[in-house]
């Protein structure tokens, strides 16, 4: 399935979830209201999700004068990848990590943490940046940005369903929602959104690793960077909105064994082994 098709499938699934929760809240009237809201959210997510993602992660855009070495590195790798120069952003965090966002290569941004710049050597930093440019080249950053925006909205609707059930909410035409459906929506809607994110995000990371290794020409350096990033992020998790965690190159949040089963990131050792196999070839 192409990345463009995945985007449309994801957006359609979000619309369906909105409508199901809306029906649980207020019957047919609630379902139609949720449909209107979902369409508006998808329109907003397409045009503005990159700005929301950058703001949500407190990323600030910088110029060449602010960090000439980083700017030059990204410019060089973007040229190798045949991409226009993305916006360059910094996240003030001691934890090394990075993400890309934007709806297409012409409206893309690469964000790195201050910890990444400080702790990675030149080859490792190249590998991480190349991975993020791989997301841009594969045109899968749109779905990443949309999912980060929409996941929060799904949780919000589930909370609305909970309060509506507690206080006997009814639609504007007097048609009441189904209490059992409301309970199901509270449990299932956020879980379904997470499962959709997980399925799409895991395949995106493998593809971006392969594309990034090809761009930088050094799969081993990217593999080494992933191992170090995983270790640092376990020791010093980032304080970010969980909805945006799947945008980062490695999981920036603390995760136990159960949480790892639902992680939007594939196992780091599997990613490393694939990269090392590329290096041997």
> Mind telling me the catalytic residues?
132
What DSSP assignment string belongs to 245-272?
GGGBSS--S---HHHHHT-SSPPHHHHH
Sign, Cα dihedral of 62, 63, 69, 72:
positive
Residue 142 CA from chain centroid, whole number = 9
What is the helix (H) or strand (E) element at residue 73, kind and residue range? Answer: helix 68-81
Contact 132, 100 (CB under 8 A): yes
If you search the block for the tokens 């503005």, which residue do you land on? 48
Centre a 10 Å sphere on the Cβ of residue 183 and count the other Cβ atoms it contains. Answer: 14
Contact 246, 95 (CB under 8 A): no
What DSSP assignment string belongs to 214-249?
HHHT-HHHHHHHHHHHHHHHHHS-----GGGGGGBS
What end-to-end distance do the CA atoms of the chain give, in Å?
26
The rounded distance, in Å, linking the Cα atoms of 142 and 227 is 26
Helix/strand number for the chain, H first, E second: 9, 4
Q: Which is nearest to 186 in space by CA: 214, 164, 161?
A: 161
């Amino acid at each position: 399935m192409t990345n463009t098709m995945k985007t449309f499938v994801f957006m359609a699934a979000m619309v369906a979830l909105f409508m199901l929760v809306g029906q649980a809240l207020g019957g047919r009237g609630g379902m139609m209201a949720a449909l209107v809201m979902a369409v508006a959210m998808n329109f907003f997510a397409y045009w503005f999700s990159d700005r929301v993602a950058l703001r949500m992660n407190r990323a600030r855009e910088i110029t060449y004068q602010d960090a000439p070495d980083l700017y030059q590195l990204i410019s060089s790798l973007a040229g190798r990848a045949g991409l226009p120069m993305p916006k360059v952003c910094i996240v003030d965090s001691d934890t090394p990590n990075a993400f890309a966002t934007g709806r297409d290569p012409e409206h893309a941004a690469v964000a790195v943490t201050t910890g990444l710049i400080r702790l990675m050597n030149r080859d490792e930093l190249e590998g991480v940046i190349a991975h993020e440019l791989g997301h841009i080249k594969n045109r899968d950053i749109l779905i990443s940005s949309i999912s980060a925006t929409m996941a929060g909205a799904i949780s919000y609707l589930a909370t609305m369903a909970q309060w509506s059930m507690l206080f006997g909410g009814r639609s504007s035409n007097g048609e009441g929602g189904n209490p059992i459906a409301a309970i199901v929506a509270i449990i299932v809607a956020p879980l379904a959104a997470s499962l959709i994110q997980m399925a799409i995000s895991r395949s995106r990371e493998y593809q971006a690793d392969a594309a990034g290794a090809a761009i930088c020409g050094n799969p081993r350096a990217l593999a080494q960077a992933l191992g170090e990033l995983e270790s640092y992020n376990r020791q010093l998790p980032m304080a970010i909105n969980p909805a945006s965690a799947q945008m980062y190159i490695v999981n920036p949040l603390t995760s136990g064994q159960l949480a790892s089963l639902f992680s939007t990131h594939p196992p780091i050792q599997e990613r490393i082994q694939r990269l090392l196999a590329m290096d041997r070839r």
